[in-house]
Amino acid sequence: MVTRSDGESDDSGEEFTPYLPGMAIRMDDEPGLLERFVERLLHRRVVEWRRRILWSLAFVVALVIVYTVAYRLAMATFEGVAVSTPAAFQVVIEALTTAGFGGDTGHWTTTEMNLFVVAMNLTGVVLVFLALPALVVPLFREGLEERPSETTSLTDHVIICSYTPREDVLRTELEAAGVPYVIVEEDAETVLELNDEGIEAIRGDPEATETFRAANVGDARAVVTDVPDERNVSVILTATEVREDVPIVSVAQSSEDAVYQRYAGADRVFRPREVLGRSLGGKVAQSFTRELREAIEIGEGLELAELLVEGESELAGHTLAESGLRERYGTTVVAAWTGGEFLPSPPPDFRIDDDTILLVAGTHPELEATTARTLSPRADGEVVVAGHGVVGAAVVERLEEADVPYTLVDRDDDGVVDVVGDITDRETLDEAGVDDARAVVLTLNDDTETTYAAVALEQLAPETEVLVRANAVENTTKLYRAGGEYVLALSTVTGRMLSSYLLADRESLAVETQFDVVRVEAPALVGESLGESAVGERTGAVVAAIERDGELVASPGPDEMIRDGDALVVTGTDEAVSEFGRLAGSST
């Protein structure tokens, strides 16, 4: 079933060991654990336990009073002995606590009186057995069970509101740069899971001022808010209420929402879904226009282009050496992406299969000539766009700009949808004409549904090119295996946009591509050659160029020395580039 994309918000330090008070403990784990246990017992659910204890005490007091009065009455009735209230109170306490009895035992001669005293003794025993499960056992159980943390002591940190897979790439970048962060999340189970993974997270409502105080916003370097748009505004206003000058970065669904968030006080608003949609639309449009529509400018005329090799193109089925790209066009294949796997600096015998994604360096005319060899000569057909949320709308907008024909499919008819139905249903596929389509762009909002749709298309229309929007970066490999030729994750785009803004020395040159391309400093590598440092081999990233004194060293070899003041243009997966920055000593 095709799901609309507007179900969620959209958009165009030092090392530390977190204290995890929510984790289960054993008394023999480490020294000082008993003190921590006692501290937790004292501060958890104070109000609830106070109420429970007060009610229990009230019940016991009432029971003692009733038994005191009843004892005096029983002694007078059955034994004919007058007992004072203090003496009766003493006997009742002794009976309930089973601590023994005083001088009244000689007066208990009747059966009725003995039965009354036995009843008091049994009541005391029952009270003990009730107190254990009702008070004592729960008290110790709550002291030992996992509880989510609600405060942090971090400083110079980033506060992320709240947790979604979209923030995974951002977290990777922050960790590589040594920037501490804390995630504010309302769901207790999610916080516990994050804590168990060693991730600093606290439970709290990001719209509450006490949550930002607990997150130590006074000492934070920035706040990132990525919640539904109607809540983003409230979160922004709440953060500025606690600390007026805190830098705030937000993620918006549309340009209209971005306006409200900027007005509320956000310093920067990103719309990664629009960026992602336009990128997918541009990739498809390139097949029709046969023009290089997107290139990454590095400097001095050098550009990088991400090229998807189509099945009937000149390059498909040939090795890199056989392609003659360097000899004929002067371009260099910096890296390749095949089957969802990243390959840095592919060797001459690397086989370029259809659906391989190449990252190529060269001048703009050189890249245009290379682009033509990656495209199929077929120029007929149209594009099927599945899903008309924010991402789908951005795809359509880009196709219309390039005058590319398309059919829009969605399960909801909003007045502009061409085919209303389920993209995985054969009848819908036939009506949309996927068998004759040049490409299908899946912009669904659920990765599970997207995977199912990709498999269905691979079975029913195997020759049709499938481009996919994913939510979580960890699902990209699965979607490639399912039949996607090009997959771009929303978390990738979001993380790159946010980290490029938050990290001063990390400039992201391409937020909407499969390859991460950044410009970083490398103080830890100064005085070493690229070969000596072996940082590329250790991380899997590639140094595509070096900027030095206003000049550009393109495709530097292993003997190239890194000098003070150099800026390196690095490409690879997000994880590889982040690790490269960490080993290269990039500071923030």
Q: Is the pLDDT of residue 331 over 50?
A: yes
Say whether pLDDT at 16 is over 70: no
What pLDDT, in 10s, does the model give residues 92-107? 888 877 666 656 777 8
Name which of 3-12, 53-62, 143-152, 316-325 the model is least confident about: 3-12
Query: Is domain 46-144 given the CATH code 3.30.2130.10 in the classification?
Result: no
For 156-200, how does the pLDDT look when each residue is reduced to its tens digit (9 = 90+)? 999 999 898 888 889 988 988 889 999 999 999 999 999 888 899
Least Cα distance to 457 among 418, 485, 416 occurs for 485
Please report where in the chains the tokens 């970066």 appear, as a residue. Answer: 473
Least confident of 46-55, 57-66, 239-248, 267-276: 46-55
Predicted local confidence at residue 173, as pLDDT = 87
pLDDT at 376 > cutoff 60? yes
Q: Given pLDDT bands bounded at 50, 70 and 90, which one contains residue 134?
A: low
Using CA atoms, how far residue 209 sits from 225, 240, 264, in Å, is 14, 9, 16
Specify the CATH class of 515-583 in words: alpha beta
Write the DSSP string, 220-233: -SEEEE-S-HHHHH
Q: Which band of pLDDT confidence, cut at 50, 70 and 90, is reported for residue 476?
A: very high
> How would residue 588 be classed by pLDDT, with cut points 50, 70 and 90?
very low
User: Confidence band (pLDDT; 50, 70, 90) for 88?
Assistant: confident
Residues 288 and 281: beta-carbon distance below 8 Å: no
pLDDT at 31 over 80: no
Query: Could you tell me what percent of the chain has a pLDDT over 90?
Result: 49
Residue 534: how many CB atoms within 10 A of its CB?
A: 13
Provide the β-strand partners of residue 545. Answer: 554, 569
- Which of the four pLDDT bands, split at 50, 70 and 90, describes residue 10? very low
Q: Where are the domains of the chain?
A: 5-12+150-271, 46-144, 291-374, 515-583
Question: Of 47-61, 188-202, 355-369, 403-417, which gets the smallest average pLDDT?
Answer: 47-61
User: Each residue of 421-440: pLDDT tens digit?
Assistant: 988 888 998 999 998 899 99
In this model, does residue 131 exceed pLDDT 70?
no
pLDDT band at 75 (very low <50, low <70, confident <90, very high): confident
> Looking up tokens 């168990």, which residue turns up?
196
68-73: average pLDDT: 89
In the numeric block, which tokens belong to residue 477? 């490999």
Q: What is the mean pLDDT of residues 237-245?
A: 96
Question: In the β-sheet with 201-203, what is the strand arrangement from edge to edge?
Answer: 201-203, 181-185, 158-161, 222-225, 248-251, 268-270
Nearest of 393, 430, 395, 425 to residue 411 by alpha carbon: 425
Residue 390's pLDDT is what? 93
Question: 539: left (phi > 0), else alpha (psi -120 to 50), else beta?
Answer: alpha
Amino acid 293: pLDDT? 73
pLDDT of residue 133: 62
What gap in Å lies between CA 327 and CA 331, rounded to an integer?
8
Residue 155 in tokens: 């400083």
Q: In one letter, which amino acid is 453?
A: A
Among the residue ranges 217-221, 375-379, 405-409, the one predicted with the least confidence is 375-379
- Summarize the confidence of residues 517-545 as an average pLDDT: 91
pLDDT at 455 over 70: yes
Statement: residue 36 has pLDDT above 60: no
The residue among 308, 306, 287, 470 whose CA lies nearest residue 379 is 287
- Residue 21, pLDDT > 90, answer no
Q: Confidence class of residue 349 from pLDDT cuts 50, 70 and 90?
A: very high
Instruction: Tell me, yes or no, if the two domains 46-144 and 515-583 fold the same way.
Output: no
Mean of per-residue pLDDT scores for the chain: 84
Q: Does the pLDDT value for residue 47 go beyond 60?
A: no
CATH 3.40.50.720 is right for the domain spanning 5-12+150-271: yes
Mean pLDDT, residues 127-141: 61
Q: Is 176 exposed, middle or buried (0-12, 13-18, 19+ CB in 10 A)?
A: buried
Of the candidates 584, 572, 582, the one whose C-alpha atom is nearest the C-alpha of residue 528 is 584
Q: Does 269 score more than 50 pLDDT?
A: yes
**What is the band of 26 on the pLDDT scale with cuts at 50, 70, 90?**
very low
Predicted confidence (pLDDT) at residue 225 exceeds the cutoff of 90: yes
Quick one: tokens of 226? 């990525």
pLDDT at residue 22 is higher than 50: no
The strands making up 567-572's β-sheet, listed across from edge to edge, are 506-510, 516-521, 567-572, 542-548, 551-554
- CA dist 453 and 456 (Å) reads 5
**What is the token pair recorded at 238?**
């709440």
Which bin fits 381, alpha (ψ -120 to 50), beta or left (φ > 0)?
left
Tokens describing residue 127? 């009270």
Please identify which residue in the block is written with the tokens 């748009």.
229
Q: What is the pLDDT, as a whole number, of residue 13? A: 36
Q: Which helix (H) or strand (E) holds 585?
A: none
Q: What pLDDT does 482 receive?
A: 93
State percent of the chain over pLDDT 70: 86
Look at residue 441 and tell me whether its pLDDT is greater than 70.
Answer: yes
Report the DSSP pairing between strands 357-362 and 406-410.
unpaired
CATH 3.30.70.1450 fits domain 291-374? yes
Other Cβ atoms closer than 10 A to 383 = 25
Report yes or no: 398 and 455 within 8 Å, Cβ to Cβ.
Answer: no
Query: Rounded distance, CA 466 to CA 284, Å?
Result: 10
Looking at 132-254, list the stretches that DSSP marks H as alpha helix, in order from N- to C-terminal side.
137-144, 168-177, 188-196, 209-214, 229-242
